Amino acid sequence: MKEMRVGLGDRSYSIHVGHGCLEDVGQACKDLGLGQRLAIITNPTVADLYLEPVERSLGAAGFSVSVATMADGEEHKTLETAGRLHGDLIEGGLDRGSAVVTLGGGVVGDVGGFVAATYMRGIPFVQVPTTVEAQVDASVGGKTAVDHALGKNMIGAFHQPGLVWIDTETLKTLPDDEFLAGMAEVVKHALIRDSELVDFLDQHVDTLVDRTIGAERLDWLIARNCAIKASVVEADETERGLREILNYGHTIGHAIEAASGFKLKHGQAVAAGMVANGKIAVDKGVLDRTTCERQEALFRRLGIARWAGATSEKLFDLMRSDKKTRDGVIRFVLLHGIEKAVSHDDVTSEEIEAGMAYARSFVTG
């Protein structure tokens, strides 16, 4: 079991990473001093697999537990779903001293966190993430949100969890495409912050692809990524500066994801976005070709990058309407080398076009 601390003053919390630790979550919640009444927010897919042990563990620790379920899928990450869950919490008798436990992937974590952030002006919550995406990224950092018809994650709040409880054994049941798509964020973290992790990925990427990596290395990988995310969040909780580097690959990535009508997985689109960024950085003369090729080799082996069939005009429109765009200027995080991520507002339309054309042909082979 690995334990890390996210140091944010009175909003500090721990991240626990272990293999087969799901049944210990009750005791951990008790140690945290949460109120007696809890609601687990989850979806039917995850509930079938993991609700029983979590409910049992919380019950054994003395909590009275209710369960609130949302439908599975990004299309249900809405204000309407959140409103229904608020209703479940009211009916479950949760008061200002109660807490929420989110059990599931990034969708359940984002919606459940948003419900906790807004229920009675904010109650504590615990994240129990069960996908790679959620374990290495979404569960840490306190960004909670729902989507709006006019844009993804448009309605949200910063609300840090009181605890992040990660059982890497839950990844066993995750389909291959979900498991590997989540690795896009892992590659991102490695490139922007951790050359040792890049070395590790070079060495072990094939065991990720065939999923023979083993519990010990998987735990190390997940914990290392949580530590990277935590260190960035500690330095810049509400994304006024450093935290922006976590958007590496996401400017074009989000546009591709939206252009696909969210049929592509986030990680698949972001991987293509990173490939485009690599080309842009090399063209600008800020990144050496060897480092760019190292990134591409990882994505080639992972095989996750995907492109949506959209015109560049459409993609430009989507980029301009993104939350990251300020005063009409599309912002890019570019690598100037491994561990050297720099935010740019000087990428020209021609450079973006060239980056996208390159990534499109990389993806389609």
Give me the amino acid identity at 356: M
User: Of 62 and 122, which CB lies nearer to ligand NAD in the complex structure?
Assistant: 122
Contacts of 310 (CB under 8 A, 6+ apart): 255, 256, 259, 260
User: Of 130 and 295, which CB lies nearer to ligand NAD in the complex structure?
Assistant: 130
Q: Name 5's bridge partners.
A: 14
The least CB distance from residue 271 to ligand NAD, in Å, is: 13
For the stretch 255-280, what's the b/e string if a residue is b when 16 or more beta carbons lie within 10 angstroms of its beta carbon? bbbbbbebebbbbbbbbbbbbbbbbb
The least CB distance from residue 119 to ligand NAD, in Å, is: 18
Sign of CA dihedral 137, 98, 68, 91: negative
Question: CA–CA separation, 184 vs 199, rounded Å?
Answer: 15
User: Of 130 and 291, which CB lies nearer to ligand NAD in the complex structure?
Assistant: 130
> Residue 21 is encoded by which pair of tokens?
């630790």
What are residue 78's phi and psi, to 5 degrees? -130, 165
> Residue 323 is encoded by which pair of tokens?
């939350």
Sign of CA dihedral 159, 164, 170, 175: positive
SS3 67: strand
- Other CB atoms within 10 Å distance of the CB of residue 34: 24
Report yes or no: 99 and 116 within 8 Å, Cβ to Cβ. Answer: yes
User: Of 42 and 291, which CB lies nearer to ligand NAD in the complex structure?
Assistant: 42
> Residue 159 is encoded by which pair of tokens?
């609300």
User: Of 102 and 291, which CB lies nearer to ligand NAD in the complex structure?
Assistant: 102
The least CB distance from residue 84 to ligand NAD, in Å, is: 17
User: Of 46 and 201, which CB lies nearer to ligand NAD in the complex structure?
Assistant: 46
User: Of 141 and 249, which CB lies nearer to ligand NAD in the complex structure?
Assistant: 141
Question: CA–CA separation, 221 vs 132, rounded Å?
Answer: 10
Tokens 């951790």 locate to: 194
The least CB distance from residue 131 to ligand NAD, in Å, is: 3
The least CB distance from residue 64 to ligand NAD, in Å, is: 25
> Residue 11 is encoded by which pair of tokens?
């909003």
Question: CA–CA separation, 315 vs 350, rounded Å?
Answer: 14
Q: Is 361 exposed, middle or buried (0-12, 13-18, 19+ CB in 10 A)?
A: exposed
The least CB distance from residue 97 to ligand NAD, in Å, is: 25
User: Of 138 and 275, which CB lies nearer to ligand NAD in the complex structure?
Assistant: 138
The least CB distance from residue 3 to ligand NAD, in Å, is: 21
> Residue 33 is encoded by which pair of tokens?
């001093």
User: Of 172 and 326, which CB lies nearer to ligand NAD in the complex structure?
Assistant: 172
The least CB distance from residue 341 to ligand NAD, in Å, is: 17
Question: CA–CA separation, 295 vs 120, rounded Å?
Answer: 45
The least CB distance from residue 260 to ligand NAD, in Å, is: 14
User: Of 48 and 196, which CB lies nearer to ligand NAD in the complex structure?
Assistant: 48
Binding site for ligand NAD (CB under 6 A): 43, 45-46, 49, 72, 74, 77, 104-108, 110, 130-131, 133-134, 137-138, 141, 143, 153, 170, 173-174, 178, 266
The least CB distance from residue 259 to ligand NAD, in Å, is: 16
